[in-house]
Amino acid sequence: MPSTVFVTDPTHTEHHSAGHPERPERLEAIVAHLEALGLRGRMRELAPREATDGELLAVHTPELLAAVERAAARSAFLDPDTYTTPETPGIARRSAGALLVAVDAVLRGEAANGFVATRPPGHHATAGQAMGFCSFNGIAIAAASVLRAGVERLAIVDWDVHHGNGTQAVFDADPRVLYVSTHAYPFYPGTGGVSEIGTGEARGTMVNVPLPRETGDEGFVAAYERVAVPALERHRPQLVLVSCGWDAHARDFLATLNVTTEGYLRAASLVITAARGLCDGRLVATLEGGYDTHALAWCSSGLAELLLGEPVTPDPEPVAPPPGPDVTSIIEAVRIAVGL
């Protein structure tokens, strides 16, 4: 069977700002843990590359590319949350390019699936604005590349705790792209309500599940059982991309959904199983948010084991948050809004 590919970028450490939560230790924790469990060696590692101007401009405006370069020259902030260093433009291009490398390998049949562990994240960046720690929107850039290559239907599943406003905005009117997001609401960036379902011929392809504080595992997993998987089955994608943020975790200090490692991996297993039935398992996950290093490490290793088809090694320090609120009414409202 073709292998699981893994792509990371050792140069990411040059993108850092003292005291900022989007820090090199995030990715270092993941890579060190994958090595400690022997998982890095069981995946086929590919080198990243920089996304080209043409690949970036398929999603972003020339003005954004210029703004990132200008800000980086001064180590300035692109918005109140999004910092740059002189090395940021190249690192952000490699973060997007790493996903392109993994997707190309999967589409050529050289790999069954893939995991891309790079930073900075991308799903908040819109066509013309860097925001929310994100300079370029890697998952949107990869999706645009796939569509140009002739793929007729693809899906993006976003389990970051924050709504991927940038990704949704790029594909809001494109019926070829299914976007499914589970996220805390109301919460940054303030988008992702039930009524945001896409425009024109794409109505029903933007699927948002806005979850309340302290939702927990059962509500989170129910959103995948009752919304995400049925939406995937209806859309029949030829490739699934995952915006893989681990910041809905109960350990994470920036978020409030109280999902455990086990709950996250239950949801991930549902998506991976659906991809196997719908598109021969063609799925590539790319790191977005997640700021607790323990949660980052153990959720990422569990995801790698699921992609490899191996038993999941349990988190040795599980958390047990109290049961969350009943989200049945929210899930049913989403199903009605998008016609599931």
Domains of the chain: 3-338 (3.40.800.20)
Catalytic (active-site) positions:
124
Report whether pLDDT(154) > 70: yes
Report whether pLDDT(312) > 70: yes
Using alpha carbons only, how large is the chain's radius of gyration in Å? 18
The predicted-structure confidence for 141-152, as pLDDT tens digits, reads as follows 999 999 999 999
The predicted-structure confidence for 167-223, as pLDDT tens digits, reads as follows 999 999 999 999 999 999 999 999 999 999 999 999 999 999 999 999 999 999 999
Spatial separation of the C-alpha atoms in residues 116 and 8, rounded to whole Å? 6
Residue reference for tokens 């090395």: 87
Report whether pLDDT(320) > 90: yes
Please enumerate in sequence order all residues whose Cβ is within 8 A of that of 260, keeping only pairs 6 or more positions apart, or say none: 217, 249, 250, 315, 318, 319, 320, 321
Spatial separation of the C-alpha atoms in residues 45 and 252, rounded to whole Å? 28
Report whether pLDDT(331) > 60: yes
Nearest to 124 by CA among 134, 115, 111, 116: 134
The predicted-structure confidence for 90-126, as pLDDT tens digits, reads as follows 999 999 999 999 999 999 999 999 999 999 999 999 9
Report whether pLDDT(1) > 60: no
DSSP E strands in 202-296: the ranges are: 206-211, 240-244, 283-287
Q: Determine the pLDDT at residue 2.
A: 67
pTM: 0.98
